[in-house]
């Protein structure tokens, strides 16, 4: 599904890491972790085709229908854009040929799934960070994309929102979709994602999450 061949990315003439060779099969779930500025988000954009690599190639074995859905960090969204939460979420169904009744029902279900009922008519500027993040994830729920690329999907989410996020990630994975998730919550990655790509200046390492991420120490209560 995802093939990175001698892939280098970063500022012009300055690759962030040595060349990356990576194969991820269809239906896989992979985390990307690393320090700030290591190139995690840039790598996701290169895979999505939003940014050109310095060298090498990315090949995506995705069917034409649905293609790729990319969840950006929300600071790249213009919150002054004059649309409501419901209109933002409904954009996830763009290009589908559902009957109006079915489209309306799907939208209602997704809003309920992401605990957004009652916020439908709020403009983006009136939403909290967590509400906006759930709206962006709800929009993703309406797509048919077999490949989902999520850049810090847990950002701004409270405990309830994070529980919803991981539930949906597991549901999408169970459906057979391929997911790549940039995440800073290492404990959550260790708990929920089997394979992780660690991005470092010295090189990238792909392996099992529980082998690459140390178990957090237990705290005793006296």
Per-residue model confidence as pLDDT tens digits over 10-46:
999 899 999 999 999 999 999 999 999 999 999 999 9
Strand segments (E) across 78-186: 147-151, 178-182
φ/ψ of residue 136, rounded to 5? -65, -40
Q: Is the pLDDT of residue 220 over 90?
A: no
Per-residue model confidence as pLDDT tens digits over 50-80:
999 999 999 998 765 568 999 999 887 888 8
Q: Could you give the percent of the chain with pLDDT greater than 90?
A: 82
| DSSP string for residues in 42-70 | HHHHHHHTSS--SEEEEEE---TTT-EEE
Average pLDDT on 143-150 reads 94
Q: Provide the Cα torsion 211, 216, 217, 221; round to 10°.
A: -150
Cβ atoms of 172 and 149 within 8 Å: the answer is no
Structure tokens at 173: 């994975």
Angle at 195 between CA 17 and CA 183, to 5 degrees: 65
User: Across all residues in the chain, what is the average pLDDT?
Assistant: 92
Does the pTM of the predicted model rise above 0.85? yes
Average pLDDT on 121-141 reads 95
* Helix-then-strand count for the chain, H and E: 7, 9
> What is the C-alpha to C-alpha distance for residues 27 and 39, in angstroms, rounded to an integer?
24
pLDDT for the residue 221: 47
Average pLDDT on 143-147 reads 92
Q: Could you give the domains of the chain?
A: 2-212 (3.40.50.300)
> What is the C-alpha to C-alpha distance for residues 85 and 133, in angstroms, rounded to an integer?
11
pLDDT for the residue 218: 53
pLDDT for the residue 63: 62
| pLDDT tier, 219 (very low <50, low <70, confident <90, very high otherwise) | very low
């Amino acid at each position: 599904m995802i093939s990175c061949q001698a892939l280098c990315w970063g500022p012009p003439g300055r690759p962030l890491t040595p060349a990356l060779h990576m194969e991820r099969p269809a239906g896989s779930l992979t985390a990307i972790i690393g320090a700030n500025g290591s190139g995690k988000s840039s790598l996701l954009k290169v895979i999505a085709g939003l940014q050109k690599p310095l060298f090498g190639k990315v090949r995506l074995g995705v069917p034409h229908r649905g293609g790729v859905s990319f969840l950006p960090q929300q600071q790249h969204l213009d919150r002054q854009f004059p649309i409501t939460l419901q209109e933002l979420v409904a954009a996830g169904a763009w290009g589908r040929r559902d009957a109006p009744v079915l489209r309306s029902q799907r939208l209602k279900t997704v809003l309920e799934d992401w605990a957004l009922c009652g916020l439908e008519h709020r403009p983006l500027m009136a939403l909290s960070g967590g509400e906006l993040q759930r709206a962006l994830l709800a929009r993703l729920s309406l797509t048919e994309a077999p490949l989902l690329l999520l850049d810090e999907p847990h950002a701004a989410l409270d405990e309830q929102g994070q529980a919803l996020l991981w539930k949906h990630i597991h549901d999408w994975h169970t459906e057979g979709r391929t997911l790549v998730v940039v995440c800073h919550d290492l404990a959550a990655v260790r708990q929920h994602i089997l394979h992780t790509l660690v991005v470092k200046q010295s090189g990238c390492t792909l392996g099992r999450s529980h082998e690459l991420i140390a178990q957090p120490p237990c705290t005793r209560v006296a």
